[in-house]
Structure 1
């Protein structure tokens, strides 16, 4: 009798309360406001940037605020941004992160790349590797994601800072660019614009609006990035050395008012996106599934939507997006995505925390 009652209760709970074995996620780090970026330390602890200016160390259910964080310029879309470990972290202990800083020329702030080491819950040996200039009080388009290639070059993005008609197409000015440095901050001798007079020598590609996702494709080793368009025209691009990605001369988007700023979706000597969204989804975060934890999802591309508050799984055929599958619908503004050391996918969601994506 008791066994029958238990079976009926469980069945009733599944139907009425929606309990299901198809649960999509597990909450790992609760109570975060805006986990802009995060990365896993070798002991499986997490380092998490909170956009407002905090760096969180999370291990075994305990959150501690890391001390010695540089002064963060927190305005609009600016703040504490991405964070990544050096590929040889276990030997050199370098941690790289981007943030908005008010240091340097002009009022306001601009995107900065720093590296530092973590010791006794304190950031030490801090080194600014690049500071975009000039500062601006505009609150939009700081970028900024970080990735490393197999030669340990560090790539990072800086948005156009709301100055679309001046910065993205001008190689002598920061903004609207993806940059490449050696891991110590020096300029690689084979950077594409190293011999162009007055050009920013760190620039790797240009003509970008606001890239907030960037990863190395584990199969092809190419750099994939996505960026915000205006009203429509969010893009996925494969980043190639020295190439112009068109903003604002070409776009699939329009002004927020609905008026056009260009009639061109393609022009000679400018790279076309491999995929674009109209209407905009406001993409943030990017990760390739590179483990066997999710079956035939392996090699799919994951991207978060800030606007529509879901995770999209892009099924790829070569370098093309074959189809999209929306996941975690209405979970909140998806800000950051990483594959953990255990092969599972982890997702940072604003006003929720960091969740683990569960296999179906």
Structure 2
């Protein structure tokens, strides 16, 4: 083990290098040398900043006056580094530097992977949770604003809208805010819920229904989206990258401003499988609570399945595939005893909607 070597010393006052002989004092755990003016120096290792570079080992000492030593002797460098390691004087940064290029590459890939996972999973989750910062009154403002934009491009069936609202009044939809219902003339087989409680049902989906229990299942499903603020959560999730900084800063106004700029996205939002599953479950419970045949929801899904000519694997879709939704509802029906009654008034209003 080599305990001394020649090195270059800079005294901090002059840029002129001095040739010195530097040694390692194992007992006192210090670096020792004599400068050209005959002065003996002892630098405690714990007070030295070490920097291992391709040009050698660089040592800095002092606070106001920084003195510097450059050592190029690899054997002596190894002696110093081994001693520092044994005595626990090597910090985490230097340990990281000493790992080598291969491990540096693995660490870099790991960090990139973590960043990617955060972008895909963590930031959207944080964006969704930012809804808690937004008062529910803001849902009403956004929903009304978004519907006004759509109102110019759709044809509302006033008589059927009145019938649907009367139909819904016969039901307990477990709603936490006032719901209103709008029937739009369209062949599109669709329905959606706005955050202000406006549930829009197209005549295309009503035409496909065979009985009122299917409509109750549909309204229960859409009411669940409103009750759980799903559209606001999905919008925040889709805008999570923009919302992240505002949320970290606790800037609720910034969050609401970003959402307001994207209010026209509500109708085109695709709910996550988690939210669709929750809405299906809540819809089933609403059928049970109103003593309406819960098979209505299963029948509705089967009917919608026939109109979906393209099968998309569940992991590629933003919605659960219809087969899985039917299977889930059927399992609920089979696992529970339920009692349902005939509802003449619901039947009458449903037939009125079908005209």
**More helix by proportion, 1 or 2?**
2
Compute the TM-score of the two structures, normalised by the length of structure 1.
0.25
**More strand by proportion, 1 or 2?**
1
The structure with the largest alpha-carbon Rg is 2
Compute the TM-score of the two structures, normalised by the length of structure 2.
0.26
